[in-house]
Every structure is written in C-alpha cells, then in structure tokens.
Amino acid sequence: MNDLMARLRQDHRNLSRLFDMLEEQVARYDRDSDREPDLLLILDIVAYLNDYPRVYHHPLEEEAIAYMAERHLGETSVNDFIHHQHEDLEAATKRLSLLFKTIANDQPVAIEDIRAALDDYLALSRKHLKEEDDRLFPAMEASLSDEDWRTIASRLPERRDPLFTEDPDEAFADLKSRL
Ligand SMILES: [Fe+2]
Ligand SMILES: [Fe+2]
C-alpha cells in the first residue's frame, strides 16, 4: 500500500482510539459515575483533534479528491460530501474545544451541554470515518498510483503527526504516555 494511503488509514485508527478515550472520560461527568474525569487529558485529546486532522489529514484527503476529479479517476459521487463533512467536523471540534476551555476556566457548564456537544461530535466523526473507509479509501486505492500520490503530496506542506510518533511534540507528551 502507498505510504500516504497507509498514513490515512492509520490516522483513522488513531482517531478512533482518541474518540473512545474521550467518550470514556466524558462518561465520568455523569452523576452516578464513581470516577473523576481527567480534564487535562480531555483538553489534550481535544487539542489534538482540533489540530492534526484540520491541518493535515483533511487537506491531504481533499487534495487527493481534487486530483482524482481533475483526472476523472474514480467515482465523483463518492467525493462530493467529504468537503462539507470536514467543515462540519471542524466546527463541531471547535464547539467542543470551547466548551472544555470554559470548564477549565472554572465557568459553569451544564453536563447536558457537554453530553450533547460530545454526542454530536462523535456521531459525525464516526460516520465520517466509516464513509471514508467504506467508499473514499477503496476508490483512492483503486485509482491512485505511487506517482499520483507523489504529485498530491507535492501540493501540500509536509506536517508530521505531533502525537502518534516516537518523538511527540512537548504539548502532547502527557497524552502520548496515556495511550
Ligand atoms: Fe475526512
Ligand atoms: Fe479521514
């Protein structure tokens, strides 16, 4: 498998893992939970979700989609919804980030609001990953050669993953140790 294609697939596995961790932490806000949520861990997860996908993962997918459309590769109907979903996802991530920053600043936030924002975010994110895994990625694998991927990559600035690496960014060192 091409390295960039493998990276996109690995990104999805990494993101799914963070979604599960976030869900488990937020469940601790429920009144009947006997475990305390770890707000710093939550903030780190949300900071990553607000960073790498928006800065690299989504642009790489969109660049590949644009390339396929230019060259009439694959099925264009597969691609139309992805850009809009990325916009919706980035907005949902920002909402979640603002909510947890409000909590971190000791402002009151209703547990119902946290749950609602998280449920929206997770439903949107998991649906998006599944649609890409089932429809977009197979179309990419069937139609893009290594040469095509080199051209696609040349259109984007390189961006290393700041968390899922041997040498994570300082800001994500704690989160990395919890994975
Ligand atoms: Fe995507
Ligand atoms: Fe994706």
Question: What's the pLDDT score for residue 31?
Answer: 78
CA distances from 78 to 7, 50, 67, 70, 144 (A): 20, 25, 14, 14, 15
Q: What is the pTM of this model?
A: 0.92
CATH topology of domain 3-178: Four Helix Bundle (Hemerythrin (Met), subunit A) (1.20.120)
Centre of ligand 1 from the C-alpha of residue 30, in Å: 31
pLDDT in tens, the chain (179 residues): 899 999 999 999 999 999 999 999 999 988 788 899 999 999 999 999 999 999 999 999 999 999 998 998 877 666 678 889 999 999 999 999 999 999 999 998 998 898 999 999 999 999 999 999 999 999 999 999 999 999 999 999 888 899 999 999 999 999 999 99
Q: Taking the domains of the chain in order of start, what are their residue ranges? A: 3-178
- Nearest ligand to the CA of 10 is 2
Centre of ligand 1 from the C-alpha of residue 131, in Å: 9
Centre of ligand 2 from the C-alpha of residue 58, in Å: 6
DSSP 110-157: -HHHHHHHHHHHHHHHHHHHHHIIIIIHHHHHHH--HHHHHHHHHTS-
Is residue 152 within 8 Å of 144, Cβ to Cβ? Answer: yes
Token output for 2: 């091409």
Least Cα distance to 57 among 159, 135, 142, 125 occurs for 159
Centre of ligand 2 from the C-alpha of residue 34, in Å: 35
Q: CA quadruple 150, 151, 154, 155: dihedral positive or negative?
A: negative
Question: What's the pLDDT score for residue 2?
Answer: 92
- For helices 3-27 and 146-154, angle between their N-to-C axes, nearest 10 degrees: 70
Question: What's the pLDDT score for residue 76?
Answer: 63
- Nearest ligand to the CA of 65 is 1
Is residue 78 within 8 Å of 139, Cβ to Cβ? Answer: yes
The 3-state DSSP class for residue 31 equals coil
Report, in this order, helix, strand and coil percent for the chain, each rounded to 5: 75, 0, 25
Question: What's the pLDDT score for residue 72?
Answer: 87
Integer-rounded Cα radius of gyration of the chain: 18
